[in-house]
Structure 1
């Protein structure tokens, strides 16, 4: 077994009590706006939506040599305050992740500047940023920002397939073929770019087992070359 690839999943939290995820989640935390209107951190925030759990299970299915930092920022409706997202991203570097995975984003341009600061820090620390593009096709952030590996959904025969087009990776938009996930109806029916991004993070984790310290541009190139070798 190779080294463990550490992935910070910024989402609705990972329910480590499901299946064997407790063997993969090494730390859980969360961020929210408290009653005084300030951003607060707590490792006691409940997982109110299994979205993040589905994301983790897809990543783990593609690459089993992973360990997760579960970062809970989304509520039961998969919503959050943009300030919470930006702050959570700024703090997650302390956990020394190899990949920061975001099956989420914002349409609000006012968050571009703080997100660019995060991208700059990620580049400095050789941390890969993966983000799902908005399902409707609207420009969303951070997926559309330089230095981020943006992902859209596509139609493929099996979960191992992906493609690259116009600056974005495309991957399956559902959970078909992912072990155990079909046993939970809520996760079984999960669809969209959120799931697509998880497949790409899984493939990146597999690549990171062989290579170290490469940029988002390097990662994109390697993923594309790997894709061409499979064709």
Structure 2
């Protein structure tokens, strides 16, 4: 099994492949976070059914959190690092703790994948050295990826999640990348970005016409 650390909303307790879960905030009754977490997990499992999830719930119900809660989740993961960690969010500011805890996971040979907005802003943890940064790329269908090499995003991926029309953009794209990495790891036992590069279809940023 490929162990995926999912920092997101809370998955349902009976979710297929849910190995462990911990809440870092109190639920507020809003359904958005659980829906978002389900969409991320389903996308990953569409690539690799042999994925099990360690779910750190940092969204209370709405899709908002704090650096403190994210740091608590990263620290929890560092006790028994997953193979891959998905951070389907970004914050405009970082902190020393966020940088250090992310670096600790990377040193433990854990891949950290984080979403980055297509408008070109640097966010964290995507902007942290060593983190795989991903933005949505409208050119990409599922199982297709782009190598962007932009200051804020290294890769692009499909910005849509099947069955969840309201969830789109960088978070969806990051889940597609994690799914592909999990599938590569399952088949080839290779941890890193190199296997992902075999699935690259586009190089360079998406170009839009002036009329668009």
- Provide closer, same or farther for how the CA distance between residues 88 and 203 of structure 1 changes in structure 2, counting only shifts above 3 A: same
Say whether 1:31 aligns with 2:24. yes
Name the structure 1 match of 2:129.
146
Structure 2, unaligned stretches of length 5 or more? 202-212
1:186-227 superposed Cα distances (whole Å, 9 cap, x missing partner): x3321110000000000000111144474xxxx223322443
Say whether 1:130 aligns with 2:113. yes
Q: Given the alignment, which residue of 78, 91, 99 partners 2:76?
A: 91
Structure 1, unaligned stretches of length 5 or more? 34-43, 177-181
Q: CA RMSD in A?
A: 2.3
* Structure 2 length-normalised TM: 0.83
Name the structure 2 match of 1:170.
156
Which is richer in helix?
Answer: 1
1:161-206 superposed Cα distances (whole Å, 9 cap, x missing partner): 1111115110011124xxxxx2xxxx33211100000000000001
Name the structure 2 match of 1:101.
86
Name the structure 2 match of 1:188.
165
CA distance in 1, matches of 2:53, 2:75: 17
- Provide closer, same or farther for how the CA distance between residues 95 and 80 of structure 1 changes in structure 2, counting only shifts above 3 A: same
SS at 1:189's partner residue? coil
Displacement over 6 Å in runs of 4+: 44-47
Q: Confirm or deny: 8 A CA contact 1:30 1:71 kept in the other structure.
A: yes
1:26-63 superposed Cα distances (whole Å, 9 cap, x missing partner): 11111027xxxxxxxxxx89784211110111001111
CA distance in 2, matches of 1:68, 1:141: 22
SS at 1:209's partner residue? helix
Greater shift after overlay, 125-134 or 202-211? Answer: 202-211
- Provide closer, same or farther for how the CA distance between residues 159 and 108 of structure 1 changes in structure 2, counting only shifts above 3 A: same
The offset of 1:157, in angstroms, is: 5.5
Name the structure 1 match of 2:143.
160
CA distance in 2, matches of 1:159, 1:64: 15
Q: Confirm or deny: 8 A CA contact 2:28 2:60 kept in the other structure.
A: no
Q: Confirm or deny: 8 A CA contact 2:114 2:134 kept in the other structure.
A: yes
CA distance in 2, matches of 1:197, 1:76: 20
State the aligned residue count. Answer: 196
Name the structure 2 match of 1:41.
none
SS at 2:114's partner residue? strand
SS at 2:143's partner residue? coil
Q: Confirm or deny: 8 A CA contact 2:115 2:170 kept in the other structure.
A: yes
Name the structure 2 match of 1:222.
195
Say whether 1:63 aligns with 2:48. yes
